[in-house]
Structures are given as structure tokens and as C-alpha cells.
Amino acid sequence: MGVLIWKPMPEPVLAPAPRRAARLAGRAGLALTGSAVAAVLLLCLAGPSAAVPALGGDGPPWSFSAAPAATPVILLCAAAIVAGALGTGAGLYALRRGWRPAPGPMLAVSAAAVLALVLVPPAGSTDVLNYAVYGRIAALGHDPYVTAPAWLHAVGDPVGAFAPPAWRNAPSVYGPVATWAQQAASWLGGASMARTVFAWKAMAGLAFLLSALLLDRLAGPGRARRVRAHLLWSLNPLMLWHVVAGGHVDGLGTLLLLGAFLAARRGDLGTGPRGGSGGRGGASGGVGGGLVAGVLLGAAAAVKAPFALAGAGLFWAARRSPATLAATAAGTLAALAAAYATRGPEALANVAGKVASRALADPWRVVAAALGEGPEAAALEGRLALGAAVLAAALLCLRLPAAPSGPLAGPLAGPQAGLQAGLQAVRPALACCLGWLLTSPMQHPWYDALLFPLLALMPACRLDGLMLVRGVVTSLVYLPGAVGLLALPPAPLVRWAAEVYRPWVAPLASDVVIACVVALALAGRLGARPLPPGPALPAGAGRADQRTS
């Protein structure tokens, strides 16, 4: 009879190929991201061009006067947009396969990129010049909701001299909180367009970085969630381009909205003992937290009205507590009423007038061409868009993957922390915002500052790639940004962009993205595809990930 000898089995080792592939994809993603930001920085440093508006005077912001030709500028812009989206996509791919860079250095790199982009002129849009003009009108004691920039231009004001021609007869369409920020930038910049723009871009960069910190906090202690948030926001070249380099006001709304979500998540403001009311208050967790969240939500909507759509998530999360729900609604209404009470009825009228507007990236452009011109066709298109937005939001509410949830960590953690809801507000908020963003005739790529932070707080899903594709499509529509295509020499690239891409390719591509989102939602396939089972990890190898994800 043989003797049975027991030998310990060797510990399983993770196959090197998947880990190496993830590491290579992550590094490639960071390299593409860095090259995209560097391209934008180079574009801005070249000085006034088809993509960079002239500001007059000496810096800051600083640049050279290289006067690059329009075609290389457009190509560089397009390359930066495509490379940036590919970099973010590669990072998300690597993240799902185990790549876990440290979030701290990612945030530090983001801060460095923001600082560099703040110090150079804006690119890709002239909206920041409009902000400076509206702020100057307000600083001079006039009402920017009544007084058009043409007046400031006509009186020979040094800031009004740079008012973009396309908007000279259009009073402000931004909320009162945005106007206050624009007026503050005008006070800091004085009678100089360059200094006013620099002050505004500094505010936009600070708002972007504070939003990154809030996202890092909202993502929780898990390293994977934090890295995802930084990939989709802090290091997302599309957002760095539009929010920081372009200086769009949407970044201020994002900061206030994320503050509302953090207040709702903490949920113990004004409720007495920590966590004492977490069970009844849902994600709001208490009357005080709901009130603060409502005030911040109202302030975000007073920057730009579409941010109010995210309130659907906060109200849904607070539904189990009538007192918290009432406090959230009261805070929102109070903030909006207090903001608009400082302005005349023209402020609301101007905002309402944007509802029927169309933009170059209108996904209904092909349908509108079939409907014809005229007020009846425009009204029909508006009704179709509204109905599609409602249906898309309802479908996404039902089909989006569940948002991450769990107890809080940090100073609020305690015996009652498990009763605190996590981020249930994110899912319905994303559904409503995405439903509108996909179907609205008024499309701009910087509107995605409302989308990407919410998407960053969701688990990995198929929306990631679709939204990056959508961001590229809409961003390319607005190239070069500072000078209209019709004002450029009729080069082949310019002609193709004006006659083919804008009226046909971009709207049809947007329609394909909408069809993909709807089809995946109906099929219940919006969630990320499960990864195939891999070799077992060696003993103890998963402990670090358990601590950080």
C-alpha cells in the first residue's frame, strides 16, 4: 500500500498578460490625455487665430503672436478632441481590467493642467468674451438682461470693443448667479478685456478643481471609484477644453450641483445626533441636509436652468421623508426666488426664450429639414423634442444600472452610518439630464459639464463610450470656435466642414448615438459587459483592493 503524502498546493498566480494589458492601456490613455492637453495649450500659446479670440492689451493671459493659418488650427483642434476622448476611453478600459493608479497624483496633474490653461487665452469659443461684456454692463450699473452688448460697443468701451458680433444684439440669457460671477470678474479686470477674461478663467479653473475634490469625496474611499471620477472629470480633456480653456459658465453650475449632492449625502446637517435620521431621509438623511442641498441646487439652476433637471434625483432620494422632501423643495425655490428677485422679469423671459432655440449640433436637423421652415414646423420640432426627452428620461430611469451605494466613511461614519444612503440620487438625476441632453435641439459640447460628473459617480457602463463619442461629435461641430467657418478662406477642409459635416454628418451621428442608447436601454444592456473569469488571485492579493474599492 502506498503512502499518501500531502503537499501544499502552490498559491495561484495571476496571469501576467491581463495585468500587463491593463497597465499598457492605462499608460496609453494617460499619454493620449497628456498629448491632447498639450495640443490645446500649444494652440492657446500661439495667440489669436481661427480658434483663439483676440483680447487686446498685455497679459495675463499670456501668448505669442504666431498667427497660425486656419487649416492647421482646425486640424490641431480636431486631433486634440479625438486624442482626448481616446485617452479617456483607454483609461476606463484599463480601469475595468484592474489598473489602479493613485488618485492623488491624478488630481495633482489635473491642477497643473488647469493652472496652465488658465494662464493662456481662451480657445474654441467666444462665450467668455460675452461673459466679460455682460459683467461689464452690470458693473457699470446697467441691466445685462435689458442692455445689449451693442450699446457697450457703440459707446466705445474698451471691453465692449471686443464684443463678438454674433451676440451684440442679444441680452444675457444666463441666470442671476452667473451674472454675479461675471460682474465680479469685471470688477477684478476693470476696463481691460484681457484682465477680465483672465479673472473669469481663474474662477472657472477654481470651480473645476473644487468640483474634482467634491467628486473625489462623493466617490467614497474606493480607489476604483475615485480613479473613475478623475478620468471622467479631472483629467477628461473634453472637460478641460470646454470648462477651463474655453471658460464656460457651466463649470460654476457643476460645482454648485456637486455641493448639493454632497450635502444630501452627508445628510446630518441640522438633524441633531449624527446619522440619527438617516433611515427616513433617504440620501438627504435629514431636514437640514435637504435644505442645504435644495439651496445649492437652486443656485446651480440660477447659473443655467438645465441644472434644475438634476433635482429630480435629489427629490427622489428624499421621497421617504416628507419633511426632508419639503425642505429640499423649499430650499430650491427659495434660492431661485431670491436670485431672480434681484432682477427684472426680463431675466426669466430671456431664459425662457432659449427653449425654442436651435444650435449647430441639433440632432433634429435632418427631421427639421423634412418638416420645412416656418413657425409651425419649429413648434412641431419643439414638441417632438420635448416628448422624446420625457420618453428617454423615463426609459433611462428604468434601465440605467444601479448607482453605487453604501455607508459613508470619514467623520460621519459611526454606528448609524449603515443607515445612510449613498448615491441613489445620481441615477434618476443622470436619467433626466441625459434624456434632455440627447434630444434637445439646443446642443453645445460644454453642456456635458452637467453629464460627465453624474456619469463619473455611476458604475462602469456602456454609456461611457457613447458619451465620449457624442462629446467628440458635438465638439467638432464648433471648430474652430473663435472665427466662423464662413469667414475663413474656402479651403477644402473648411468647405467640407461647412457643407457636409455640420448639416449632415454630425446630426446623423448624434441620431445614431441616441438610437444606440435607446436600443441598449430597451434590451437591458446599458450595464457594462461582465468580465470573463480570470485566474485566481494569490492569497492576500485582493486585500488592498478591498480596502480601496
pLDDT digits (tens, 9 = 90+) for 320-379: 889 999 999 999 999 999 999 999 899 999 998 887 778 888 888 887 777 777 777 777
* CA atoms of 429 and 435, how far apart (whole Å): 10
In percent, the amount of the chain with pLDDT more than 70 equals: 85
Q: What is the mean pLDDT of the chain?
A: 86
Cβ atoms 271, 287 nearer than 8 A = yes
Candidate from 113-117, 297-301, 324-328, 524-528 with smallest mean pLDDT: 524-528
pLDDT the model gives residue 407: 38
Q: 527 pairs with which residues across the strands? A: 461
Q: 461 pairs with which residues across the strands? A: 527
Cβ-proximal residues to 209 (8 Å cutoff; 6+ apart), any chain: 110, 111, 114
Rounded mean pLDDT, 98-112? 96
Q: What is the pLDDT of residues 191-213, one digit of tens each?
A: 999 999 999 999 999 999 999 99
pLDDT the model gives residue 275: 40
Q: What is the pLDDT of residues 151-173, one digit of tens each?
A: 999 999 999 999 999 889 999 99
The gap from C-alpha 464 to its chain's centroid, in whole angstroms, comes to: 13
pLDDT the model gives residue 416: 32
* CA atoms of 302 and 308, how far apart (whole Å): 9
In percent, the amount of the chain with pLDDT more than 90 equals: 70
Q: Is the peptide bond before 492 cis (omega within 30 degrees of 0)?
A: no
pLDDT the model gives residue 13: 43
* CA atoms of 292 and 269, how far apart (whole Å): 8
The number of residues making up the chain comes to 549
Cβ atoms 415, 219 nearer than 8 A = no
For every residue of 79-100, which 3-state class applies, written as one string?
HHHHHHHHHHHHHHHHHHCCCC
Q: Dihedral sign, CA of 354, 431, 231, 532? A: negative
Tell me the three cell numbers of residue 182: 461675471
Q: What angle (nearest 5°) sits at the alpha carbon of residue 386, between those of residues 389 and 383?
A: 150
